[in-house]
């Protein structure tokens, strides 16, 4: 693999907007507080974007696929992680990953992925599309569905829907975990069999309350959650039920440490290029891909290395400390 870097200024002596770029922005006007919508429309026009606004759930997939099929060279997403995920799904559906540069305008509640690639605000997102460094980053796949940040198994729809925006902004995916413990303290977990590419002969089998698979994100007990998104690997954490794990009432930071503590014997961690998850219970399990849900009995999860072309902010750290 190359270092994923290319010079955006090729053929653009002024370093400004490339005249030959056809730019489309897929905007979810319902993401976050929606207060950003007018500002994004204005900035998008200034930066030469045609804006396509979604009117319903899932439509960003179709709009992004159509934009790519019509020859757009930059397809950007304005919204939260769910909208980013849908736009990337559209690029995958149009088989356009290698042809199109993906742009990120953070306009959701938590904007976890944007933060992981150094994009700090709406204005900064447009600046980065103009003159950010281009990287080829890894994309996770669960079956044929892509994910940028994470694939989380074992969450109930109830936990997901009861997670507050404030908590999501603060903790990201760990918020779901905390909500799960608060709303379903009796949750006994899901029986899973997990085989990784490297250790197919030594499968993990047991009862997990949570399976965390990170591409752009990892799940330490404390500190930096940004993962290396150019290493061709997924960060996996399998969390088993621990006696007395009712975390309600604990400070959030304490809860995260308790749940994901490196020395905790109820957490199994592995880095892998791929894994297969089989649900051994009668009912299938719900997995959340960047917040978008999918229900399955068996899921092949793998990384597609260096497959998404993305312009990143100055603060992007290609190889964060593990």
Residues of the shown chain interacting with ligand ATP in the complex, contacts defined by CB under 6 A = 28-32, 54-58, 60, 79-83, 86, 108-111, 168, 291-292
Closest CB to ligand ATP among residues 79, 103: 79
Q: Quote the least distance from Cβ 64 to ligand ATP, whole Å.
A: 12
Q: Are 239 and 128 in contact (CB under 8 A)?
A: no
Work out whether the CA dihedral 304, 309, 315, 319 comes out positive or negative.
Answer: positive
Nearer to ligand ATP, 173 or 233 (CB): 173
Q: How far is the C-alpha of 98 from the C-alpha of 27, rounded, in Å?
A: 22
* Dist. CA 17–CA 39, nearest whole Å: 19
Q: Which residue is nearest to ligand ATP (CB)?
A: 80
Least Å distance, CB 114 to ligand ATP, is 9
CB closer to ligand ATP out of 132 and 291: 291
Nearest to 191 by CA among 241, 152, 237: 241
Q: How many whole angstroms separate alpha carbon 234 and alpha carbon 304? A: 10
How many distinct helices (H) and strands (E) make up the chain? 9, 15
Q: Which is nearer to ligand ATP, 90 or 153 (CB)?
A: 90
Shortest Å distance, C-beta 38 to ligand ATP = 16
What is the closest distance, in whole angstroms, from the C-beta atom of residue 11 to ligand ATP in the complex?
Answer: 34
Give the span between the Cα atoms of 150 and 43, in whole angstroms: 30
Query: From CA 62, how far away is CA 121, in angstroms rounded?
Result: 26
To the nearest whole angstrom, how small is the minimum distance from the Cβ of residue 167 to ligand ATP? 10
Q: Which of 80, 132 has the CB closer to ligand ATP?
A: 80
């Amino acid at each position: 693999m190359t270092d994923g870097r290319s010079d955006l200024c090729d053929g653009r002596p002024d370093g400004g907007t490339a005249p030959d770029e056809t730019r489309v922005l897929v905007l979810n006007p319902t993401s976050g507080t929606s207060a950003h919508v007018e500002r994004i429309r204005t900035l998008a026009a200034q930066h030469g974007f045609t804006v396509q606004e979604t009117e319903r759930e899932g439509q960003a997939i179709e709009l992004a696929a159509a934009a790519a099929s019509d020859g757009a060279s930059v397809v950007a997403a304005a919204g939260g992680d769910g909208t980013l995920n849908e736009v990337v799904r559209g690029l995958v559906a149009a088989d356009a990953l290698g042809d199109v540069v993906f742009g990120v305008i953070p306009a959701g509640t938590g904007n976890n992925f944007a933060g992981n690639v150094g994009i700090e605000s709406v204005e900064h997102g447009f600046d980065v599309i103009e003159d950010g460094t281009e990287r080829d980053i890894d994309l996770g796949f669960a079956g044929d569905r892509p994910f940028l940040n994470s694939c989380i198994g074992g969450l109930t729809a109830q936990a997901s829907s009861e997670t507050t925006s404030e908590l999501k902004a603060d903790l990201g995916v760990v918020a779901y975990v905390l909500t799960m413990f608060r709303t379903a303290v009796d949750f006994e977990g899901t029986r899973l069999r997990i085989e990784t590419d490297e250790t197919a002969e030594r499968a993990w089998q047991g009862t997990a309350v949570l399976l965390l698979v990170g591409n752009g994100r990892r799940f330490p007990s404390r500190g930096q959650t940004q993962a290396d998104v150019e290493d061709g690997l997924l960060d996996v954490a399998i969390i088993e039920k621990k006696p007395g794990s009712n975390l309600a009432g604990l400070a959030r930071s304490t809860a995260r440490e308790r749940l994901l503590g490196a020395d905790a014997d109820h957490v199994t961690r592995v880095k892998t290029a791929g894994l297969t998850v089989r649900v051994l219970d009668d009912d299938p399990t719900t997995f959340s891909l960047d917040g978008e849900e999918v229900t399955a009995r068996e899921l092949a999860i793998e990384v597609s290395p260096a497959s998404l072309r993305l312009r990143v902010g100055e603060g992007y750290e290609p190889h964060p400390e593990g």
